[in-house]
Every structure is written in C-alpha cells, then in structure tokens.
A and B are shown apart, each in its own frame.
Chain A
Amino acid sequence: MNDDELTRLFRSLDEPAEPRTAFADELFANLERMTSGAVARRQTSVRWLLVATTLLLVVSLGAALAVGRGLIKLPFVVAVATATPSPSATPLGSGTPAPSPSASTTPTPSPSPATSAIVIDGLAKSTVDGLTVRATPGTAGARLGTIDTGQLGFVVAGPVSANGYAWYQLGAVVVPPMAVCTNPVRTTPFSCPDWLGWVAAGRPGGQPWLEATALPCPASPMNLKTLLNEPAPLGPRTALERLACFGSTSIRFRGWWPQIPPNAGLGGTCGPPPNPTVAWLFCQNINENGLAISESAGFEGAGLKLFIDPTSGVTMPPRGQWVEVVAHLDDPAARDCVPAPAKVVLTCRAELVADSVKPVAGPY
C-alpha cells in the first residue's frame, strides 16, 4: 500500500456531512452571546464618532465664519477637541459562559437515560475528558472548570433538569472540600482538587458523561487503619469516600488515643462559625481529638479526628490507650453549617461524630 493508495483511502473519509440543526442553532446562540456585547460597544463607538464629527464640523464652520467676518485674525490656534471614539469591539468578556464539550447542544426535554443509577450521597465519575463543571445547573451557569475521564465526584444534589440535560452537583472526593488549595481554582481542567459544581450527565439518548460508581467499603467492627484504608497505594480513603460508604449508619472501630506531644502547636481560632450551635463541628482545624491508627503512628501520624457534640454527654477517656469508638457521619447538625458555602456543609457532613468511646485492650 503506497502513498497514493493511502491518499485514495483517506479521501473516502471526506464525505459531505451536515451538522444537526439543533447543534447548529445552539452553537450560533452561544456565539451570538459572545459577540453581542462587542457589537453593542461597536454601535456605541459609531454613535460617538458621529457626534464628534458633527461637533468638529460646527466648530470648524464657526471658526471659518469668524475669520471671514474679521472677528478673528490669523494666525491663530484653533483648539479643536479631538473627540476620541471609545474603543471598538474587543474580544469576549470573561464572564461569557463558554460552551462545554458537554452541555451546550440539543435542548430536549427528557433527561439522559444513563442517569438513573446515580444517587445522592453516592459517587459518580466522568466518562469523558473535558466535562464542564458549572456554578449552577444549566448551560448558562458560570463555567468553573472541567474534569477528565475517571474523575470521581461525590453526588451532592440532583438531578436537576435544565437545557435538556440532567444535572448533578458533584464535589471533589480527592481531598476534603475544606482542604487548603492554591488559587486560582478556576482552571481547565481543575488543577486544584477542591471543587464543587454542577455537571451534565450526558446528551439524551447518547453516551453518558457521568456514571455511578462505588468503592470497596469495610464493615464494622474494624480498626481505624481499615476505616482509613491505610496504607493505600493511592492514599487513604477520603472523607467524602467514607461518607459515600457509610452515610449516617453507625461505625464501630478501634484506634489509638495518643498523648499530645510537647510543642504540638495546637490551639488557635477558626473564625466565627456560621452558626454558634455547630461550632463543635465547624472548627475542625483546632480539634485535638485525633485518633491514630497505632501507637507507633502517634499523634502526628495517620489518623482521624473525632467530633463530640457537647450536648451528647460523650467524653474521652485518658490518653495513651486503645479505645473503641462508635460513631457516625452525616450528623444532622451538619445542615446547620450555613449560610457558609455549600462545601462547608459537605465538610461538616463528612466529619466523624462520636456516640460512645470506651477504653479497650487493643485493636481487633
């Protein structure tokens, strides 16, 4: 097969093809939105130019008449204000909602057929690269960034039907939502794992862009090491992965209740909580109730923080021993972590709240 034969074969690919009308219309609407602001500015510029030209003519005519009648003798300097028209059309404003690979086509009323398996408080993952995450459901929602194939998200809300798509609000599971993340977070794709936004689940009748997924979950009773999935090749199970695993069901596990080393640098403030009644759940960073996976791991090693509702009557035993903890995630108080951003609520929901803590001889 020589080059001529290859050329002949490849030319067979180039056959007439028409894009779908709905796609064409939707894309044109997007482009028109992108250009409409510029057109308006251009029209304004033209109007200013006409005004300036008229003014210039009037002034020139007046000056000529004055010179003609001897009211002004030459030479003189006529100070004519050079009216500068406003800048002409400029490229897009950054606020223009850019179309996404995903949700920018074919408004049809039915939701994606592949969305039925996606459940609230479960996990979903992107099946495509460049899937757009938006601030609100719908193609007009501000574009926050994109996620690529395999990117996991915790399903916070949905489905919401908009522009013919079923939209789900997803939060990154890679790290807890309140984890420190370097700005800017609005990148494409997200360079920062701290994201929360709405994603279209797919084109109706087409390939799903999101699919439900699940991770292996351990069963109670267990050791804290198992609960954390530590050590793990890709890191321990994250807070939202735990939330997806257990929801609000009771978890029984054993962990090491370590001594706090000298100069641990603890304390401080976390700012005023959104709601004083949930300060105990909100101020995660100054919580000293860190359980460790083993004696050797100690206070600074792998572990998990335990939260105690001051009205529950739960108390911690003396440090330096193994404890058995019965706890739960998704405490009802988490819903009071408002009016902070939604991801703070999500963080509160993912915290482990103690129901009982008692000393035990050792791990399972």
Chain B
Amino acid sequence: MTMRTSLGAEPVTLNTIMADQAGFRVWYELALPRVYRYLLARCGGDADLAEELTQQTFVEGVRRRASFDGRSDAVTWLCGIGRHKLVDHFRKSRRDTERQLRIVSEWSAGQSQAWSQQELRSGVETALSKLPGEQRIVLVLRYLDRLSVREIATSIGRSEKATESLLSRAREAFRKAYGATNS
C-alpha cells in the first residue's frame, strides 16, 4: 500500500497513517511545525507553553484518532484540539499573570536588539500579556482564527451575549494596553 503523506492529500484516516510507522514519521514531521506554530502564535510567544500544548494536542489526537473521518485536513483537526487545550489552559491557569509578566520582561530585553521585523508582534504580545486569560483567548479566536462570536461562545462555554460582552471588554483593554506599550 502506498502511503500518501503529503498534507495536501491526506490519507483517509489517522488510523491509516499510524498503521505505517515510516509514513507516520513523515506525516508527523510535516504536521508538527504547523500545530506548534498555530499554538505558539496564540499563547503569547511562550515556547514552553506552546510545547506543552502541542504535546497535549498530539496525544489527544492519537487517542481520538478513530473519530477523525478524513473529510478535512488532519492538521486542521489537530489545531481544533489544540484550540480547546488553549482555551482550557487560559481558563484555569491561575498563574497566568505571572507567566505573562515574565514574557514581558523577556521581550523588553529582546527589544534592545532592535528586531524591527518583530516589533509589531512584540507590541501585540506585550499588550496581550497584560490582559486576563479569557480576554486574551477571545481576542485570539476572533482576530487570528477569525471565528464568529457564536463559535467563540461554543469554544469557551459561554452564551453569545456574554461572549460579545467579554469581547467588547477585551478589545477595550487591548487598545489601552497596546497604546501604552507603543506610546
């Protein structure tokens, strides 16, 4: 059996991929950077957290592989799992503020090197880091994942009205934080 490992031509199911160890490795090496990048961008550039969530995502994906029907891209499916992990993390993380403060200080040190190509990203990450976890995740889901309010509400387990309200507060908080960071 010829394994199709290109991400553009996914094999039918993950069971099929994982049945062949060599094929699984090739698929994994293509899928991992995409999932990692997806999560790193959404967790404030915290590489440790991105690794942790990536790991949780793949483990969950392997466990639930039977539920993947092959009608969509497997990495997209994995990123969906990753999104849930991310939401869970920000909802329950009590030490979030301290973690993000650490990131801010790291970025502050890095900025002295005048990474012009990263200044925009740095400013966004710094501003986001000052927001509570739930505000941060709804902004990321809205403006990076382009999810609708209804989809965000489903993801975070709130009503649409409550989610819209949360988004509104998050936007306002981000504007202030971003303005302060870049003033």
Specify whether A and B are partners: yes
**Which residues of A line the B interface, CB within 8 A?**
1, 3, 6-7, 9-20, 23-24, 27-28, 30-32, 34-36, 38-39, 42, 88-89, 91-92, 98-99, 101, 104-105, 127-130, 148-150, 203, 206-207
**Which residues of B line the A interface, CB within 8 A?**
15, 18-19, 21, 24-25, 28-29, 32-33, 36-37, 40-42, 45, 47-48, 50-52, 54-56, 58-59, 62-66, 89, 92-95, 102, 118, 120-121, 123-125, 139-140, 142-144, 146, 171, 174-175, 178
* Contact of A9 (CB < 8 Å), options: B41, B56, B102, B143: B143
B18 to chain A: closest residue by CB: A35
* Contact of B51 (CB < 8 Å), options: A20, A38, A129: A20
Known: A27-B58, A31-B62, A34-B59. Is A17-B171 also a contact (CB below 8 A)? no
Q: Is the CB of B21 within 8 A of A32?
A: yes
Cβ–Cβ < 8 Å partners of B33 in chain A: 16-19
A99 to B42, CA, bound (A): 22
* Contact of A34 (CB < 8 Å), options: B62, B93, B94: B62
Cβ–Cβ < 8 Å partners of A24 in chain B: 29, 32
Q: Is the CB of A16 within 8 A of B37?
A: yes
Q: Is the CB of B19 within 8 A of A99?
A: no
* Contact of A35 (CB < 8 Å), options: B42, B62, B89: B62
Cβ–Cβ < 8 Å partners of B55 in chain A: 23, 27, 30, 99, 101, 104-105
Q: Is the CB of B24 within 8 A of A27?
A: no
Please name the 8 residue pairs, one residue from A and one from B, whose CB atoms are nearest each other, closest first.
Answer: A10-B143, A13-B41, A19-B36, A12-B120, A12-B121, A10-B144, A101-B52, A14-B41
Q: Is the CB of A39 within 8 A of B18?
A: yes
Cβ–Cβ < 8 Å partners of A92 in chain B: 62-63
Report which residue of B41, B51, B146, B175 has the largest number of chain A beta carbons within 10 angstroms of its beta carbon. Answer: B51
A13 to chain B: closest residue by CB: B41
List, sorted by A's number, 5 A–B pairs whose CB atoms are closer than 8 Å: A7-B143, A28-B28, A31-B59, A98-B59, A101-B52
Minimum distance in angstroms from A33 CB to a CB of chain B: 10
Cβ–Cβ < 8 Å partners of B56 in chain A: 99, 101
Prevailing SS type, chain A contact patch:
loop
Q: Is the CB of A129 within 8 A of B94?
A: yes
A26 to chain B: closest residue by CB: B55
A206 to chain B: closest residue by CB: B48
A14 to B41, CA, bound (A): 5
A24 to B37, CA, bound (A): 13
* Contact of A149 (CB < 8 Å), options: B40, B47, B95: B95
Q: A34-B62, A91-B63, A101-B56 are in contact. List 4 more A-B contacts (CB 8 A).
A: A9-B178, A19-B36, A30-B55, A101-B55
Cβ–Cβ < 8 Å partners of B139 in chain A: 6, 10
Cβ–Cβ < 8 Å partners of A149 in chain B: 94-95
Cβ–Cβ < 8 Å partners of B171 in chain A: 1, 6
A38 to chain B: closest residue by CB: B18
Q: Is the CB of B51 within 8 A of A19?
A: yes
Cβ–Cβ < 8 Å partners of B37 in chain A: 14-17
Q: Is the CB of B59 within 8 A of A10?
A: no
Minimum distance in angstroms from A10 CB to a CB of chain B: 4
Known: A39-B19, A91-B65, A99-B55. Is A19-B95 also a contact (CB below 8 A)? no
A225 to B171, CA, bound (A): 52
Known: A13-B125, A28-B25, A42-B19. Is A105-B51 also a contact (CB below 8 A)? yes
Cβ–Cβ < 8 Å partners of A17 in chain B: 33, 36-37, 40-41, 50
A12 to B48, CA, bound (A): 20
Cβ–Cβ < 8 Å partners of B48 in chain A: 203, 206-207
Q: Is the CB of B24 within 8 A of A35?
A: yes
Q: Is the CB of A89 within 8 A of B125?
A: no
Cβ–Cβ < 8 Å partners of A42 in chain B: 19
Minimum distance in angstroms from A335 CB to a CB of chain B: 37
Known: A9-B178, A19-B36, A27-B32. Is A14-B144 also a contact (CB below 8 A)? yes
